[in-house]
């Protein structure tokens, strides 16, 4: 299913003390390029589907959704869709990305399109090393030769993580010649790991912006460094003052982005965790302006006034179009089927322990969401807080009962249940406080709500190591059964 509906991103926070939030919600490893008079961005989806959301903008600050790179998995890959890098060269748009090869390792691959919104034709993997090959970035050297830059994912096996370069064919179908190491982790702050390299050429130097240390989760210690070289293949030297981006009062673990030029200025689009929502809100897209110093290095300006951000704390989906909005995602491991008609979403059930589910990013540490469930539903229909296929907490309606269910490490347990006389429709609501405490409610009129769980449910276990909590809908049951939903709303506080 292709998702075409473009929605303006909705956020609660407009600016921060340093850096500007421009892609709120879970948008790891953002990449950006200018094509014509617009900027195009893309981000990691990991094990969410559809794969790699696309956005476009006139000012680098206000972004509109523009579909996805892949609405079907590349035939050679199965999961871990990481680090898309969008580039434009000789009239073609190239999308370099990482994915796990079936019965193999992580590979760096590429797809091509005639226009940034696609459709994209997958050209397949370029490099698949034993320990994995990730974070591909294309760059032409001082003589115009095209190279692929990537990281060998040695840290996954307790090995070093060198950054490699190899010449690439102009049609992007293969690498040619021998690979050459550019640099590797050798500074204490890098903790034995460097990755996410992007390169910009300015005056007499190639500048590599790269990430070091651990990217993800509650114990991340990521940062951003700079290295430079007069020739692409080196020798490379690292800035003595690295890291150039590190934790501050508002954002932690900043890194893995792409530089871009706008109106003679230089900007870096990258991700970081908010110190308020942390791993629960995911790695969010930030913009930071930088300049080149007289001694030939890069200095970030840490501003937050690049443009006014259009914001709203509330988003409502009344299912008024035939296709879901781009902000909805589901598990890459599931064959999720849905249909929309007359402002009603029909979500076909799956018998898996998690059922079939749809989710969207949360935008703050305190929020509430609600959805209307129709009595005509034939499956177990519910409102869910989602980590992944094996971890969620959800309220479901079935056989004149409301159940609150905790799914933890693949094992389901009923927290509480109540018998009800199911009306023609019922509103389910969840209120989350401090990222971790969830209170579920229900209402026959959408105004007066009754409490389902007196003691707040603990959802602190939900975020996977590389993703964030989603809030959404679940449909569990035998094939042929379905859940019917109307009007989903998400409000950030």
- Per-residue pLDDT tens listing for the chain (493 residues): 333 333 333 333 333 346 899 999 999 999 999 999 999 999 999 999 999 999 999 999 999 999 999 999 999 999 999 999 999 999 999 999 999 999 999 999 999 999 999 999 999 999 999 999 999 999 999 999 999 999 999 999 999 999 999 999 999 999 998 999 999 999 999 999 999 999 999 999 999 999 999 999 999 999 999 999 999 999 999 999 999 999 999 999 999 999 999 999 999 999 999 999 999 999 999 999 999 999 999 999 998 889 888 777 899 999 999 999 999 999 999 999 999 999 999 999 999 999 999 999 999 999 999 999 999 999 999 999 999 999 999 999 999 999 999 999 999 999 999 999 999 999 999 999 999 999 999 999 989 999 999 999 999 999 999 999 999 999 999 999 999 999 999 999 8
Residue range(s) in the chain whose domain bears CATH number 2.115.10.20: 20-300
Q: What are phi and psi of 306, to 5 degrees?
A: -75, -30
What whole-number distance in Å separates Cα of residue 437 and Cα of residue 299? 40
**Class of domain 20-300 (CATH, top level):** mainly beta
Q: Which CATH number fits domain 314-492: 2.60.120.200, 3.30.360.10, 3.30.70.20, 1.10.1760.20?
A: 2.60.120.200
Q: State the greatest distance between any 2 C-alpha atoms of the chain, in Å, as a whole number.
A: 75
For residue 8, what is the DSSP state? B
Closest CA to 463 of 406, 363, 390: 390
Look at the chain and count its residues.
Answer: 493
What whole-number distance in Å separates Cα of residue 173 and Cα of residue 180? 19
What whole-number distance in Å separates Cα of residue 25 and Cα of residue 48? 14
What whole-number distance in Å separates Cα of residue 263 and Cα of residue 39? 12
What whole-number distance in Å separates Cα of residue 146 and Cα of residue 21? 33
Residue range(s) in the chain whose domain bears CATH number 2.60.120.200: 314-492
With residue 4 as reference, give the H or E element that holds it.
none
With residue 278 as reference, give the H or E element that holds it.
helix 278-281
């Amino acid at each position: 299913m292709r998702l075409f509906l473009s929605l303006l991103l909705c956020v609660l926070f407009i600016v921060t003390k340093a850096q500007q939030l421009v892609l709120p919600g879970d948008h790891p490893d953002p990449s950006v390029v200018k094509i014509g008079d617009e900027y195009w961005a893309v981000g990691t989806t990991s094990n969410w589907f559809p794969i790699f959301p696309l956005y476009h903008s006139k000012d680098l600050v206000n972004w509109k959704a523009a579909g996805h790179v892949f609405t079907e998995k590349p035939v050679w890959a199965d999961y871990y869709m990481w680090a898309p890098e969008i580039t434009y060269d000789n009239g073609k748009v190239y999308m370099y990305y990482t994915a796990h090869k079936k019965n193999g390792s992580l590979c760096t691959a590429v797809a091509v399109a005639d226009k940034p919104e696609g459709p994209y034709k997958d050209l397949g993997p370029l490099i698949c090393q034993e320990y994995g090959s990730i974070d591909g970035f294309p760059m032409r050297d001082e003589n115009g030769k095209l190279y692929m830059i990537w990281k060998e994912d040695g840290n996954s096996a307790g090995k070093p993580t060198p950054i490699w370069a190899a010449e690439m064919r102009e049609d992007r179908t293969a690498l040619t010649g021998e690979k050459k190491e550019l640099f590797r982790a050798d500074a204490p702050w890098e903790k034995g790991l460097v990755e996410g390299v992007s390169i910009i050429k300015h005056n007499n130097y190639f500048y590599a912006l790269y990430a070091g240390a651990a990217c993800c989760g509650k114990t991340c210690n990521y940062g951003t460094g700079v290295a430079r070289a007069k020739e692409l293949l080196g020798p490379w030297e690292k800035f003595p003052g690295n890291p150039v981006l590190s934790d501050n009062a508002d954002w932690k673990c900043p890194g893995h982005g792409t530089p871009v030029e706008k109106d003679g200025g230089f900007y870096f689009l990258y991700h970081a965790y908010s110190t308020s929502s942390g791993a629960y809100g995911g790695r969010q897209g930030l913009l930071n302006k930088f300049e080149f110093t007289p001694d030939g290095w890069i200095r970030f300006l840490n501003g937050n006034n690049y443009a006014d951000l259009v914001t709203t704390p509330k988003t409502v989906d009344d299912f008024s179009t035939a296709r879901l909005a781009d902000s909805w995602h589901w598990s890459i491991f599931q064959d999720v089927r849905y249909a929309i008609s007359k402002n009603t979403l029909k979500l076909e059930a799956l018998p898996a322990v998690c059922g079939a589910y749809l989710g969207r990013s949360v935008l703050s540490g305190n929020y509430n969401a609600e959805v209307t469930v129709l009595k005509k539903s034939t499956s177990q229909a519910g409102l869910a807080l989602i980590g992944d296929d094996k971890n969620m907490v959800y309220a479901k309606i079935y056989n004149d009962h409301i159940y609150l269910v905790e799914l933890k490490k693949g094992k389901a347990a009923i927290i509480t249940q109540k018998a009800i006389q199911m009306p023609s429709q019922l509103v389910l609501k969840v209120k989350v406080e401090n990222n971790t405490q969830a209170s579920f409610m229900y209402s026959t009129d959408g105004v007066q709500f009754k409490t389902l769980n007196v003691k707040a449910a603990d959802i602190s276990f939900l975020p996977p190591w590389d993703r964030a909590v989603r809030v959404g809908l679940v449909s569990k049951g035998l094939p042929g059964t379905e859940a019917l939903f109307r009007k989903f709303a998400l409000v950030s506080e």
